[in-house]
């Protein structure tokens, strides 16, 4: 069964600290994996996309990793800021099919001063 699981469900960290969010998936055949950031009351916005051949990709203070063998991805946030408080959603795409996106339930990150 194609599934995407994220952990932790929620996380609270102090401003300036680093954190890592996890995404495990069983989706196959895999096409790509995307991390979205969703601010409260807003729609998700793409942070980064990882394809099969990519191990690491950075977008400012956000760094995503992908291990296609173990079907795991992580999103590392460096030197967190209050504006990083949001939900982070992992989305995996199948290679084929019209309805081919599988969404994780997200990690709710709260950065406190």
Partner 1 sequence: DVKVTQSSRYLVKRTGEKVFLECVQDMDHENMFWYRQDPGLGLRLIYFSYDVKMKEKGDIPEGYSVSREKKERFSLILESASTNQTSMYLCASSLQQGNREQYFGPGTRLTVT
Closer residue to partner 1 (CB): 52 or 103: 103
- The yes or no reply on residue 69 touching partner 1 (CB under 8 A) is no
- The yes or no reply on residue 3 touching partner 1 (CB under 8 A) is no
- The yes or no reply on residue 104 touching partner 1 (CB under 8 A) is yes
- The yes or no reply on residue 98 touching partner 1 (CB under 8 A) is yes
- Least distance to partner 1, CB of residue 61, Å: 21
- Least distance to partner 1, CB of residue 16, Å: 29
The alpha carbons of the chain give a radius of gyration, in whole angstroms, of 14
Residues forming contacts to partner 1 in the complex (CB under 8 A) are 32, 34, 41-46, 49, 89, 93, 98-99, 101, 103-106
């Amino acid at each position: 069964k194609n599934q995407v699981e994220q952990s932790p469900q929620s996380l609270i960290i102090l401003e300036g600290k680093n954190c890592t969010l996890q995404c495990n998936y069983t989706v196959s055949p895999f096409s790509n994996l995307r991390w979205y950031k969703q601010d409260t009351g807003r729609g998700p916005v793409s942070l980064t996309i990882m394809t099969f051949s990519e191990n690491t990709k950075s977008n400012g203070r956000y760094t995503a990793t992908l291990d296609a063998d173990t079907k795991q991805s992580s999103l590392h946030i460096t030197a967190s800021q209050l504006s990083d408080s949001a939900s982070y959603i992992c989305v995996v795409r199948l290679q084929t099919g019209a309805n081919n996106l599988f969404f994780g339930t997200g990690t709710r990150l709260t950065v406190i001063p």
